[in-house]
Amino acid sequence: MTERPPSFGQAFGIGVTQADADFVIPNLATDIPVCVDPFLLYKSRDPLLLDLHDRLLAVFGRAFELHDAGDRAGLDRLIDFPEVNAIGFGYTQGRIAGSGLGWQLNQLLADLLETSEVIRERGLRHVEELQLLSVGVGPDRVSDITANVLKLALVEYTQQQSELWRIPLVSSAPLSHYLDHAEMEWRDGYFDLPVNPLSGAPLILVPRRIVRLLPWINYDDFYSKEAQLLLPPRPQLPRYPGMAKQERLVIAKKEMVAKIRESPAVLDRYVARKERDSGAALPLLHDEPDAPQLRTTGDALLARLAGIPTGAAAAADYQLLVYEILNFLFEPDLTGGQLEVRTYLGTERRDLVYWNEAERSFWKYARETYLSPLTMFEVKNVDALESDHINQAATYLGARLDMLGFVVTRHSPSAAVVRKVYSVYNDSPALPRKVILVISDSDLRKMIDDRVAGRPATPYVQDLYRSFRSRVQ
Amino acid sequence: MVRKTQQELQQARKAAQAEREAEEQERQKRLIWLFEAKERHAQLVSVADGLYDELDKLARKWPSMPVTERQVTKVNRLLGAVRQLLEDEGDEFADALDEVVPAGDMPETRDIVLILREARDALDRFESKYESEWRTVHRADG
């Protein structure tokens, strides 16, 4: 009987599960069939991700320039995207090593630019468009391209998450082929990274908010929705009972790619539609946690919540636990949570800040009503919440962060604290007014129960908000 | 026996007159309030009945269908007016007629029908309380 390889948590001796982690938990033995989708960078409200999308396009902008200047050697050097084995994504069965797009893509891109003047002039609005413009580029290649260009940012993210989850790092692990954005050159270097105990290779963690099963813009989707515009009309034959089904005309990708290159208006139309429908482009993993996994994680979180005492000594533990619970409850609506976030001048420090990337329901309403993509949680591991805690949270709220904030604490607030929360709302000088909602351990427990039972936790917070707004009227 | 002087008698008459005038003013004020409350009550009953009937029709066929933003605006306007009319009546259920806060998800039609029913019942209780006085107002007016 073959022994099952250890899970990521077992290998590093930590209690992380996919239900409460901000990153995609790697499978140490094999690739996970998902991809890094550049469209999720494009549609994000996080300026860091938007900047990464710009950098991704800048690489191809530079490649176009090199081609125009006749610098084929420079083009070959730049357009070089081997598979990033360290992230462990790919559609290869049973191993962590695919082929990647080493030197082939430069040939494909050069071929594209030479044969299509229209594309040369139009440029690329999304890297994923290459799937529709070149026969040899599929979803996995788009993921490789993105992962290569983002590698340095992902290394930084891996180091942050490793510190948070206490994942051991190996000092100066060798990492090849990362992009120096300033020089537009590929470099090799050494970074502090966790190492896969099975293969001995460095591991890079990827935030789940930029991961999908397939890129939002992909060839199969294009073919099923827009390609009919490029195909000759089907003859309308009379139909009668028992008649054989009329076969759809299927054409090879090579032929379709040639047609798209000739008529990029169809590509523009498709891309414009996908941009318009971006609200439906949600991060998605291949195996979202099932009921037993949710139960295990939920029970573990509840047990830890019951075991942490109040007081300053356990404040850090409580803060980390609240972070894990909020991940468990609200990912992917609230995502990219960061602890101990300092303000621009470092004068203030927020306990927990999340990016609000919700596309529906209460969190979307909160982002649009309070005009901020950020949501703040202050964490107070105290026996009794005081008015000063509310005052402190109120000073953090404002135009730069958000006018809606949360205070997470151990017990329900006293009547005096509730009055203070109302007065913060009523004394706000401008609209929208400052809203502070207090979430106690008892609220957290109820929301965990909802999540474990397969129900979303958001309606509970929505009810807290509705109740606040009704009472404060 | 001490006889009141002419001046004292005059003062007493004036005081009694002032008291009668104050009472009359109070009575007039009360009549005006009763009259206005009766008018306002009739207006709100008319709006509440209209909204209730229309939403009840929808709720019978599609009870869990979310209401529209316009429906919420109209219902909230009614609830605010009902609460204002009944604010000094000590009716705890009327005080609890909070405005609907969608907060990202519109409430279901059946829930709005329930709230409208509560508003109608609060208006009925108000009518029962002042019905006899309103009849007096009606006679005084007529």
Which chain B residues in 31-70 lie under 8 Å from chain A, judged by CB atoms? none
DSSP run (H or E) holding A190: strand A185-193
Mean pLDDT, chain A, whole residue set: 89
For an interface test with B, which of A369, A472, A473 has the most B Cβ atoms less than 10 Å from its Cβ? A473
Q: How many CB pairs under 8 A join A and B?
A: 30
Least CB–CB distance from B101: residue in A360, A364, A470: A470
| pLDDT above 90 (res A471) | no
pLDDT for A112: 82
**Taking a C-beta distance cutoff of 8 angstroms, is the pair A256, A227 a contact?**
yes
- Distance (Å) from the C-alpha of residue B111 to the closest C-alpha of chain A? 14
Least confident of A45-49, A66-70, A143-147, A249-253: A249-253
Per-residue confidence band for A413, with pLDDT thresholds at 50, 70 and 90: very high
Q: How confident is the model at residue A301 (pLDDT cuts 50, 70, 90)?
A: very high
Å between B110 CA and nearest CA of chain A: 18
B98 near A CB under 8 A: yes
Of B60, B44, B46, B50, which Cα lies nearest the Cα of B109?
A: B60
Instruction: Report the distance separating Cα B72 and Cα A466, nearest Å.
Output: 14
Q: pLDDT band at residue B111, thresholds of 50, 70 and 90?
A: very high
Please give the average per-residue pLDDT across A326-334, as a whole number: 94
Q: Is the ipTM of this complex over 0.90?
A: no
pLDDT computed for residue B130 by the predictor: 94
**Average pLDDT of A416-436?**
92
Residue B78 and residue B44 in contact, taking contact as beta carbons nearer than 8 Å: yes
Of B98, B99, B104, the CB nearest to A462: B104
User: A-chain residues within 8 Å CB-CB of B81?
Assistant: none
Task: Residue A301: name the closest of A22, A27, A21 by CA.
Answer: A21
pLDDT at A210: 95
- pLDDT band, residue A136 (cuts 50/70/90): confident
- In this predicted structure, which of A58-72, A237-251, B65-79, B114-128 has the lowest mean pLDDT? A237-251
Instruction: Quick: pLDDT tens for A90-106.
Output: 886 655 455 555 557 77
pLDDT surpassing 80 at residue A116: no
pLDDT (0 to 100) of residue A385: 96
Tokens of B124: 């009925």
The reported pLDDT for the residue numbered A170 is: 95
> Tell me, what's the pLDDT at B5?
84
pLDDT exceeds cutoff 90 at A56: yes
Q: Which of B95, B100, B105 to mutate to test the interface with A (most CBs of A within 10 A)?
A: B105
Q: B122 or A293: which carries more pLDDT confidence?
A: B122
The better pLDDT of the pair A247, B37 is held by B37
**In this model, does residue A228 exceed pLDDT 90?**
no
Please name the residue of chain B whose CA is at the shortest distance from the CA of residue A370: B103
Residue B37 has pLDDT above 80, yes or no: yes
Q: What percent of chain A has a predicted confidence (pLDDT) above 70?
A: 92
List b or e across B32-63, with b for residues whose CB sees 16 or more CB atoms inside 10 angstroms.
Answer: eebeebbeebeebbebbeebbeebeebbeeee
Of the candidate ranges A52-56, A260-264, A378-382, the one whose mean pLDDT is the lowest: A260-264
Domain boundaries, chain B: 6-141
Angstrom distance (rounded) from CA A59 to CA A74: 12
Which of residues A402 and A70 earns the better pLDDT score? Answer: A70
- Lowest mean pLDDT of A16-25, A337-346, A376-385, B107-116, name the range: A337-346
Residues of B in Cβ contact (< 8 Å) with A435: none
Given a cut of 80, is residue A299 above it in pLDDT?
A: yes
Put simply, the answer to whether B103 touches A362 (Cβ < 8 Å) is: yes
Decide: B76 and B98 in contact? Cβ < 8 Å: no
C-alpha dist (Å) from residue B111 to B1, B64, B66, B114: 77, 9, 10, 5
Q: What are phi and psi of A32, to 5 degrees?
A: -100, 130
- Taking alpha carbons only, the member of A24, A359, A382, A42 closest to residue A207 is A24
For A360, which residue in chain B has the nearest alpha carbon? B104
